Structure 1
Amino acid sequence: MKVEKEVSLNHNTSPSKKDLGTDSLGVQKTMRLKHYLGDGSTMIATNTISGLVGMLTFFYTDKIGLAAGTVGTILLLSRIFDAFSDLVMGKLVDSTKSKHGKARPWILWMTLPTIIGIILLFTIPANASMMTKNIYAFLTVTLVTGIIYTAIVIPYSSLMALRTRSSEERGKMGITRAVFGYVIGMVIAIMLIPVSNMLGGDQRAWIIIGVVLGVISSIALFITFITSKEENTTASTEQAEAKVSFIESIKLLFKNKYFVIMLFVNFLMQMMYTLNGSTGVYYTKYILGNENLVGIMGGVGLIPVLVGFIAVGPMMKKFGLTKTVQIGFVIGIIATGLRCFMPYSFTAALVLGSLATFATIPMMSIGGVLFSNTIEYGEWKTGKRLVGMINSASSFGMKIGMGLGAAIIGWILAFGSYDGTLAVQPESAINSILLLTVYLPFALFLISYLILRKFDLDKKYPQIVKELDERRNSVTK
């Protein structure tokens, strides 16, 4: 009876799954619209946290009075801890055994900590000594990013591979997740500064916003928990995941060339996302002279986002996963390259900045799918299926990229003698802001494109899935 159950799970022969048919590669589909929407909800929580953390540099320097260089160091150190905690979390996911599966329980367990953590980010004691403020900032950022965020994002990333083996469904999951994530990210980018100013512009205003966003994030996590399943789990896949030590897992990861490529690309793009999400307010305040313009730029930025999410599906079908991301990078190179010749132009910031935003959508939508597909390649190559570890290691690169991006913001501002208490910044600070908002994005797009040219897994993936099915079938017979 046990063998019959394994075969049934492996071939998805239940009537409800048969009704869904197979994808273009012949892999059984398992998801309906409600599953995509429920799965995407967690992006509200993850991108709320990342969006708020991205704005902490401005909050700390201009509302609390911390030194920019110190803030950069705090954010980097917290991200380093965060990155290493990802590896531990990946092993925990692979080891989790629950009636809800490996990944889903963690989504549920993090609902309450998420509310508490987000609020704590902004309750830094304003009248305390500078040392106390610095310690509080480090501890709360580390709690939110290194523990709470990690305990959400690693299981959530793993859920894509556990939910389905269909590249088509994974692609739709990626698009849905990106839409949810980008919408909440843009809401924060557009509304945070104007709304906080409407509420008084002080620390109390930021705490109120934190409470509201914390509650919404918690609800979003619970929605994902109740609408998700873990379908891609059989005795044979569990056997492939079993008895792999932490050290062996790390070694196996770096034998997976496609994982390594995606690790570096993700690292660079997370730096890009951090720069885009954290420096716009400096650009509008000191280059354009009005910090509230960040809301207008964010609003205009919704147009390429909408176009991007509409276009990425057809692009994926026509060009494939990797080519779609590469095309996005080429558009980004052109847009940011042209902007280097007109760094003070508001028109260029709107038009070319919109094109650069469009260029990030394919990677945002498909990057997680490309990572998930490397799981099958790793299993095919080594015989070991490392769902949690691959997702945790990818998150490791993401966190290091985010942390370095945040640190670079603080360090470059400090190098340019930026002082958040000054109404007018020195020329060196203006140049630092231009470096962060105009020139660095061009370099990041260019390097990411050159690295991704080595990723040719799309061509091999159907045959890899076929051979893995044959192996699993031989185990269950």
Structure 2
Amino acid sequence: MQTSLNHYSQNNEIHKDIPGRKEIIGYGLGDFGYVLIWTLVASFLTYFYTDVAGIAAGAVGTLMLFVRLWDGVSDIGMGILVDRTNSKHGKARPYLIWMPIPLAITTVFLFTVPDVGMTGKITYAAITYSLFILLYTAVSIPFKTLLGMMTQEQHTRSMIGIVGAFFIQSSALLVNMITEPMASGIGGQLGWVMTGTLFGVLAVVTLYITFRTTKERVGFVPTAKQEEKVKLSSGVKALFKNKYWMIITLFCISYYTLLGFVGAELYFAKYILGNASYFSIISLVKAVPGILAIFFMAPIVKKIGKRNMVLIGILSIILSTFIKYLDPTSLNYFLIGSAFNGFGKGIFGAMLYALINDTVEYGEWKSKVRTGGLVNSAASFGMKVGTGLGTAIVGWLLAFGGYVGNLSQQSDTALQMILYLNIHIPFLIAIIMFLLMWLYKLDKIYPQIVEELQRRKNE
């Protein structure tokens, strides 16, 4: 990886003043920070609501979808706000010092559900989860937009994504390994509150480091042609002329629907494999291949491109479902399948945001309107809808199967739903992801697009 980080050339305009190693690592630490909170909520909140707070599974599923749809709307608003922000710190960076502390506080509120009856619990969960989502959006959209503002150089973006993926995988591993043992060890809601507090503090610190170490280079200093702010109608019109943004957004919906099923693995460990603590082992087995892949990914990406690398990751996800299907009740088969699953997701973590930000250049080339914040927020809308759909499906299918939180033995239909959520449905989603990524052809024409954009700016 060290050699790859030093590949930079000074032969043309886009190679000038590109991020160095320290800045790339500083951005990666931000990945580590906000993913701590995201993984805690994505992996454990559904379980916390059903088996600790005692909220009905069907109500939890509906709540998750409703709040994530609201989240998608807030994403668009945040993207517009980032595009229109002009502070001494830039467009995206200021939000990394303004918003992490409120986000950390709200994360703790999520795991402090009062015992005020079912209606009261659902109301409290809806309010706190909606507030959490709003604040998370205020951090994640600027953070993702910042990647596109750090550099236009294609391979450098890939490298930032690869280094970020290392921190993402490490962050997710940390959360999935220690959350359940730590929360259970302390006991009750207090265990979850203390766990949320720990991750919230770490997120605040790492995001501040990102703010201090990064620099906005692309689209920050306006030219005479760029001084007038882009109207919302023009930005939205330009967005829907961007076919690669539409493809990547649909891909985000599919992939994040798949990620929304992560919480179902805890139910699988507890009720199919017979021990909830297996979830930590599964998380470790998933994370290690993804982390290892990062160390040899850079030269392969440079040779075959981001899109083809992602196709390899999708094939790995498909293979993982076949392996788990061979013997769904075997821990060994599930762990082997999880290893292939983790390898594929490690690739996605390294490539996805670079793919999204490449569509910013395509959109500017196509419509002569640059809307980095709107592109990232609209793609993030797809992510939030996907995650909401995934977590909602978990709750709905559990309820359909007659699942009752914290029973020692679930019904046969409930167990069947848990199997579907971990094997059958992920297979179908992976097929959809493959078809979408097959249509993504931007890698081949991206260098010519950037050259044309540079000529326009110099005219």
Match of 2:199 in 1: 213
1:422 maps to 2:411 = no
1:42 maps to 2:35 = no
1:369-419 CA deviation, whole Å, 9 max, x = no partner? 111111111101100001110010010000000111111110010011100
Match of 2:209 in 1: 223
Equivalent pair of 2:168/2:349 in contact (CA under 8 Å): no
Matches within 5 A, 1:346-385: 346-385=331-370
In structure 1, what is the Cα distance between the partners aligned to 2:228 and 2:268?
A: 50
In structure 2, what is the Cα distance between the partners aligned to 1:349 and 1:19?
A: 39
Match of 1:162 in 2: 149
Larger deviation, residues 308-317 vs 281-290: 308-317
In structure 2, what is the Cα distance between the partners aligned to 1:467 and 1:263?
A: 25
Match of 1:100 in 2: 89
Match of 1:10 in 2: none
In structure 2, what is the Cα distance between the partners aligned to 1:113 and 1:58?
A: 24
In structure 1, what is the Cα distance between the partners aligned to 2:383 and 2:163?
A: 20
Equivalent pair of 1:94/1:241 in contact (CA under 8 Å): no
Equivalent pair of 1:66/1:130 in contact (CA under 8 Å): yes
Cα gap change, 1:26 to 1:64, in 2 (>3 Å): closer
Match of 2:3 in 1: none
Cα gap change, 1:279 to 1:234, in 2 (>3 Å): closer
1:143 maps to 2:131 = yes
Match of 1:345 in 2: 330
Match of 2:184 in 1: 197
Residue among 249, 258, 261 paired with 1:275:
261
Equivalent pair of 2:51/2:405 in contact (CA under 8 Å): yes
Larger deviation, residues 35-44 vs 69-78: 35-44
In structure 1, what is the Cα distance between the partners aligned to 2:87 and 2:221?
A: 15
In structure 1, what is the Cα distance between the partners aligned to 2:252 and 2:227?
A: 24
Give the match's secondary structure for 1:375. Answer: helix
In structure 2, what is the Cα distance between the partners aligned to 1:374 and 1:207?
A: 39
Cα gap change, 1:205 to 1:23, in 2 (>3 Å): farther
Matches within 5 A, 1:326-341: 326-341=311-326
In structure 2, what is the Cα distance between the partners aligned to 1:174 and 1:268?
A: 20
Give the match's secondary structure for 2:326. Answer: coil
Matches within 5 A, 1:439-458: 439-458=424-443
Matches within 5 A, 1:23-42: 27-28=15-16, 30-42=18-30
How many angstroms does 1:38 deviate by? 0.9
How many angstroms does 1:21 deviate by? 3.2
Identity of aligned residues (%): 37
How many angstroms does 1:446 deviate by? 1.1
Give the match's secondary structure for 1:340. Answer: helix
Equivalent pair of 1:157/1:391 in contact (CA under 8 Å): yes
Match of 2:98 in 1: 109
Equivalent pair of 1:190/1:299 in contact (CA under 8 Å): yes
How many angstroms does 1:25 deviate by? 10
In structure 2, what is the Cα distance between the partners aligned to 1:458 and 1:27?
A: 18
Match of 1:152 in 2: 139
Equivalent pair of 1:23/1:168 in contact (CA under 8 Å): no
In structure 1, what is the Cα distance between the partners aligned to 2:225 and 2:257?
A: 37
Structure 2 runs not aligned, ≥5 long: 1-5
Cα gap change, 1:334 to 1:19, in 2 (>3 Å): closer
Match of 2:73 in 1: 84
Equivalent pair of 2:151/2:217 in contact (CA under 8 Å): yes
Structure 1 runs not aligned, ≥5 long: 1-17
Match of 1:254 in 2: 240
Cα gap change, 1:226 to 1:25, in 2 (>3 Å): closer
The residue identity in structure 2 corresponding to 1:347 is N
Equivalent pair of 2:78/2:137 in contact (CA under 8 Å): yes
How many angstroms does 1:28 deviate by? 3.4
- Give the structure-1-normalised TM-score: 0.91
Match of 2:110 in 1: 121
Give the match's secondary structure for 2:49. Answer: helix
The residue identity in structure 1 corresponding to 2:259 is Y
How many angstroms does 1:49 deviate by? 2.2
Equivalent pair of 2:84/2:91 in contact (CA under 8 Å): yes
Equivalent pair of 1:240/1:383 in contact (CA under 8 Å): no
In structure 2, what is the Cα distance between the partners aligned to 1:375 and 1:219?
A: 29
Equivalent pair of 2:290/2:342 in contact (CA under 8 Å): yes
In structure 2, what is the Cα distance between the partners aligned to 1:195 and 1:189?
A: 11
1:269-307 CA deviation, whole Å, 9 max, x = no partner? 11112212x111101100011101111122222321222
- Give the structure-2-normalised TM-score: 0.95
Residue among 282, 290, 298 paired with 1:297:
282
Equivalent pair of 1:115/1:218 in contact (CA under 8 Å): yes
Give the match's secondary structure for 2:403. Answer: coil
In structure 2, what is the Cα distance between the partners aligned to 1:410 and 1:249?
A: 36
Cα gap change, 1:30 to 1:132, in 2 (>3 Å): same
1:62 maps to 2:51 = yes
Give the match's secondary structure for 1:252. Answer: helix
How many angstroms does 1:44 deviate by? 2.6
In structure 2, what is the Cα distance between the partners aligned to 1:452 and 1:237?
A: 35
1:72-116 CA deviation, whole Å, 9 max, x = no partner? 111111111111000000000000010000000011101321221
In structure 1, what is the Cα distance between the partners aligned to 2:370 and 2:223?
A: 7
The residue identity in structure 1 corresponding to 2:203 is S
In structure 2, what is the Cα distance between the partners aligned to 1:376 and 1:314?
A: 23
Match of 1:318 in 2: 303
How many angstroms does 1:334 deviate by? 2.3
Equivalent pair of 1:86/1:395 in contact (CA under 8 Å): yes
Q: How large is the Cα RMSD of the aligned pairs?
A: 1.9
Cα gap change, 1:238 to 1:306, in 2 (>3 Å): farther
Following TM superposition, the consecutive aligned residue runs of length 4 or more in structure 1 with deviations greater than 6 angstroms are 23-26
The residue identity in structure 2 corresponding to 1:148 is L
In structure 2, what is the Cα distance between the partners aligned to 1:26 and 1:211?
A: 41
How many angstroms does 1:312 deviate by? 2.0
